[in-house]
Structures are given as structure tokens and as C-alpha cells.
A and B are shown apart, each in its own frame.
Chain A
Amino acid sequence: MAVETTTRAKLRWGLLDVLVVVFALVPVLWIASLSFKTPATLTDGNFIPREWTLDNYRTIFDTDQFVRALINSIGIALIATLIAVVLGAMAAYAISRLDFPGKKLLVGVSLLIAMFPQVSLVSPLFEIERQLGLFDTWPGLILPYITFALPLAIYTLSAFFKQIPWDLEKAAKMDGATQGQAFRRVIAPLAAPGLFTTAILVFIFCWNDFLFAITLTSTERARTVPVALSFFTGESQFEDPTGAICAAAVVITVPIILFVLFFQRRIVSGLTSGAVKG
């Protein structure tokens, strides 16, 4: 009897699981499917391609427009992630370990920025960056990315840092290490998984951005892939841009899929521990 109910329960959960998986994957599989279709079968409305081809991928990697955008995307996201994680780690360490005035203020400011409507910054940043010569450059995008990634980084890292066995730090200090040394030699290695998780989350955020990328760039100099994608449509550079757009879309989805596949556990724990504690 008991065995039977658990089997039935398993079946019910299994059904729900399938529902979730289908719901989550269909749009992704659809755009992948389109990217493999030949021009002739592109408009047949079939979910699975009747004829497979890699031409769409050849096309996009042959165009400067896409390759340039891909380099921009990777470079900007990596630099922004690195800086945001370093600054975030410093702040999170201070928040979780040290007693100093203005701590509450910093937490409050981070929270406000997490809720900040980014579109409100678009007009003033456009004008400020034009005056400073940052418009349409890598730093022009990296700066806002760092800003909006910092609250995420600070929260996630504070949560991780609070779980670290700090007695080890005390032990290190007993042995004559300074607080700074204790941080670098003892705590940093322990914090590495948290740092890595945070880096993934921040990278996904930067990789995903569209609003800043489309308003603060105007040429291929700093245009990222999501923006380049939206411009494939308007220009008649390709006969029908659908296949090329889908191929480019798949290319920038691959890193996300890899992150999710390999680091699912870390991402989930990062989001659930840092995002909400209240």
C-alpha cells in the first residue's frame, strides 16, 4: 500500500516536472530549430526542421556586425563582472564582518538601487556620457552595469560571507596575521565558491542588458549582441534576417545554458540566499 502511494506520488510529481520542463524549454528549442532551418523551409511553421543547415551560423560569423558585437558583449560583460565582484566583495566583507558608521546606509543605498527604474537614467546618462566622451564606448556601458550589479553582488556575497567559519580568521590572527592577511589567505579561498556564484549572476545580468546598450551606443564600437540582433531586422543586409537572428540568438544563449547546466545548484543557492532574507 505504502509502496503504491509513493509510486503514484512519484508519477504525479513526474508529470508536474515534465510540465515545467516543457514550459521552460519550448521557446528555446523553437529559436534553435529556426536557426537550423533552410530559407526554403523557414516559413513552413514546423516545430522541427525538415531540412537542416548550418548556413545561418556561417552567415553571421562572416559578418563584421555580429562578430564585433560578440566581442563587445564578451569584453564588456567580463570587465564589468570582474570589477563588480571585486568592489562587491570588499563592501560585503565590511558589511558582514566589521562595525563601522554608515553600514546601514550602504545596505539601504544598495536596496534603493536594486529597485531603481533604470529607464530614469537613460536620458541623463545619455547627455552626461556625451559630454564626457563616454558615449558609445566600453566604459560607457561598463559603468552602469557595475552600478546595477553591485547591489546583487553585495547581497549575495554578504549572505555567503556570513556562512564562513570566521573562527578560522581568529585563529589566523592569533598566529600573527593581520586582518588584511587573514582576509586574503584564509577567508578568500573559503569565499571562492561564493565569489564564483556571484560572478555568474552578475555576468548573466550584464549579458542580458538591452536598455542601456541600445541607448548608450550608436555604432559597432560598443554595440552588444542583443542590440545588434534588434538591428538585423531593420537592415536589408540579409535577404530574410530571421535565420541569422535566430542563429545569433542561439550563440548568445549557449553560455547561459552551460552556466545553468553546470552550476544549477550554485545559482539557485546564490539567488535564494542573497535575494531574499526577510
Chain B
Amino acid sequence: MSINATPTGADVAADETSGAAGRRATVPAQRGGRRKPPLSENKKAERRLGLLLCAPAALVMIAVTAYPIIYSVWLSLQRFDLRFPDQREFIGLENYVTVLTNEFWWTAFGVTMLITVVTVAVELVLGMGLAIIMHRTLIGRGLVRTSALIPYGIVTVVAAFSWRYAWTPGTGYLANLFSDGAPLTERASSLAIIMLAEIWKTTPFMALLLMAGLALVPEDLLKAASTDGATAWQKFTKVMLPVMKPAILVALLFRTLDAFRVFDNIFVLTAGGNETSSVSMLAYNNLIRGLNLGIGSTMSVLIFITVAIIAFVFVKLFGTAAPGSDDGERR
């Protein structure tokens, strides 16, 4: 990892001070000839410090994600039920056949897709509205922004309980809004409430991402459009949207992947009853209730692949620039 290791820099205690110490050891040697040719010493020290500073973060991230996902592939190829540990054996792709021919999996997959598509679409529209309000409102900007941050910050489980009690007959203020039944005991209304809870919780986040895009729209351009007689709608579609397109795509990508993970709201609102389970709910149930690691891991791998496909489609088809990438930063 390090070329020309100094005593302190070589032991990878990998914290900032040891990196700095390594650096300190090399600096005086070249202080005399600062701008002279052998810049490579300086470069080497810089490289070493960079790697040392990044190593801990990189190691943790890889150890807690890459290794488990590989392990998960290995587990998914085995019959492994914690209730019957003696029957553990390698069974190839049998678990995949089991899951992919199971109607519960496909129901959950459909539910997850439905929730993802509907919530992200609604959030895009509402989020855009909220972003414009937060960005341009003439009065009470601080108040609006503070209020909007509350759904973002609040614990999802807390919000879910609030919605659950709101729709509970007798207790809730919303229970008798549409009919006098119990909305959380029927499939369609349960799904609608789950989506409402999701939208309430994550629209502000979408709005904040979009607001970052709004800030990039040059004020001059809007003024020029006004002088040319553009209507508010024309300004929005012809000026703002094109400038904001990259921000919109990134927001959509992040929210889509996030929506696909929907779990907390369903757990609290319906516990997956009436066929409202998402794939996350199903994987959880297989692991904790069913204690079936083989099947649970198979679902883990399938979810991972689905998410990878979604991300790939976004990046390839829409050309979403990776946030943080250099081309994005120099805008």
C-alpha cells in the first residue's frame, strides 16, 4: 500500500495522526529544494496520506456490505433452516426455484413495485411544488422549511403509528372520512394508507433534492423569459425543467431505490396483512418468523439484483450523473 514506508507511516494504525506523522518525517528532507524536480517524494507522501485517511471508511463499508452479500449468495445455495440445522446442505439453485415460483413472492413484488411507482410519481409532483414554495416564497421561508423538515426527520415508526391511529375506527380523526368500515383491514385502502404515509414522510426529502436543482436555475434567464412574455408555465417547462433535469434524475433514482425498500410503514400499519407485504417484509418474515436463512438469503440476493437493475437502467437510459463525481461537481 505504501511505497517508501516510514516507521510511523508503515504501521497501519490508519488514523489521521499516524498519517500525519509519516508525512512530517518526509517533509523536512525536501524543504530546502521545494520547487525543484523531485516532486515525486511529495506526491508519494500525499498518496500515502490519502490512502491512510480513506482506509478506515473503505474497510468498514466493504466489510459490512460486500462480504455479507457474497456470504448471502453462498447461503442462498443451501437448504438452511435454523429450526432444522441438521438438514443443512448444498442444493444449488433450488431456493431460487422455490421463491420464483411462489405466489407470495410475486404478490409482494407487485405490491412493492406499485408502491414504488405511485409514491415516487406523486412525490415528484408534490416535491416540485414544495421545492418551489421553499425556494421562492415571499414570506415565512424559515417557517416553511422548518415545517417541511419535520416529516424528513421524524422516526418513520412514529409517523406510521400516527397514521395507524388516525385511521383506527373510534380512535382516529380520519377513520370515518370515506366510509364507516375499518380502512386498515381492507387491501386497497391499506395500500392507499401505506402510500400516503410514505409520501408524507419522504416528499420533503425529494423537495430538498429538487431545491438544490432549483438553485442552479439562473435568475437572469427567468427574467429574460419574463421580458419575452413567457407565462409562468412556460418558464417552468422551458427554462427551469431543462436546467433541473440532472437534479430531477438523481432525486428520482434515490427515491426509487429508497421506496423499493419500504418496510417500516407496512410493519406498523398492516404487518403485511391482507396481502400488503413488500419484498422487504417478506424477507424479514422468512428470517425472523420462519428462521429460514436459505430462503431469506435467496430473497436478499433477488432484491439486490432488482435494485442493481433499477440503478443500471437509470444510469444507462437517463444518463443520471453520479452525484459527487467530478464532472458533476464542476458545474
Q: Contact residues of A with B, CB < 8 Å?
A: 6, 9-10, 13-14, 16-17, 20-21, 23-25, 27-28, 30-31, 34, 42-43, 45-47, 87-88, 90-91, 93-95, 98-104, 106-111, 113-128, 143-144, 146-147, 150-151, 154-155, 158, 162, 178-181, 183, 204, 207-208, 210-211, 214-215, 225-226, 229-230, 242, 245-246, 249, 252-253, 256-257, 259-261, 264-265, 267-268, 271-273, 275-278
Contacts and interface: CB of A to CB of B under 8 A. Distances in A.
A82 to B, nearest CB: 13
Of B48, B138, B161, B264, which is in contact with the most chain A CB atoms at under 10 Å from its CB? Answer: B161
A6 B60 CA distance: 54
A43 B170 CA distance: 5
Given A123-B283, A278-B247, A230 B268 contact: yes
Of A93, A95, A118, A120, which is in contact with the most chain B CB atoms at under 10 Å from its CB? Answer: A120
B301 interface: yes
Contact of B303 (A104, A117, A242, A271): A117
Contact of B61 (A27, A95, A150, A275): A150
Interface in B47-96: 47-51, 53-54, 56-58, 60-62, 64-65, 67-69, 71-72, 75
Contacts of B130: 20
A123 B297 contact: yes
Contacts of A125: 64, 68
A122 B284 contact: yes
Interface in B100-147: 130, 133, 136-140, 142-147
A13 B144 CA distance: 11
Nearest to B281: A119
A120 B304 contact: yes
Contacts of A207: 155
Given A99-B47, A123-B287, A147 B61 contact: yes
Interface string B142-170: 11111111110111111101110110001
A9 to B, nearest CB: 6
B263 A211 contact: yes
Interface stretch (B184-192, B218-226, B249-257): B249-257
Given A268-B149, A276-B251, A115 B161 contact: no
Give the interface size class of chain B. 35 or more
B227 to A, nearest CB: 17
A180 B24 contact: yes
A215 B260 contact: no
B284 A242 contact: no
A263 B75 CA distance: 45
B11 interface: no
Contacts of A21: 143-144, 147
B250 A276 contact: yes
B144 A20 contact: yes
A154 to B, nearest CB: 7
A210 B201 CA distance: 15
Nearest to B249: A278
B137 A17 contact: yes
B23 A178 contact: yes
A180 B17 contact: yes
A27 B159 contact: yes
B173 interface: yes
A278 B157 contact: no
Contacts of A111: 322-324
B147 to A, nearest CB: 4
A278 B325 contact: yes
Contacts of B211: 268, 272
A249 B62 contact: no
Given A119-B303, A179-B23, A260-B146, A106 B137 contact: no
Contacts of B239: none
Contacts of A123: 72, 75, 283, 287, 293, 296-297, 299-300
B165 A226 contact: no
Interface string B282-325: 01100110000100110111011011000100000000111111
Contacts of A110: 61, 324
24 contacts: A6-B138, A9-B138, A17-B143, A17-B144, A20-B147, A25-B147, A27-B200, A94-B49, A98-B50, A99-B46, A109-B58, A111-B324, A120-B307, A123-B296, A124-B300, A150-B60, A158-B324, A208-B153, A211-B280, A226-B158, A267-B149, A271-B208, A276-B251, A277-B329
A272 B208 contact: yes
B145 to A, nearest CB: 5
B61 A277 contact: no
Contacts of B43: 99
B209 interface: yes
Contact of B165 (A151, A242, A272, A273): A242
B61 to A, nearest CB: 5
A47 B57 CA distance: 47
B171 to A, nearest CB: 5
Contacts of A115: 253-254, 257, 307, 311
B261 to A, nearest CB: 6
B161 A103 contact: no
Nearest to A48: B173
A213 to B, nearest CB: 10
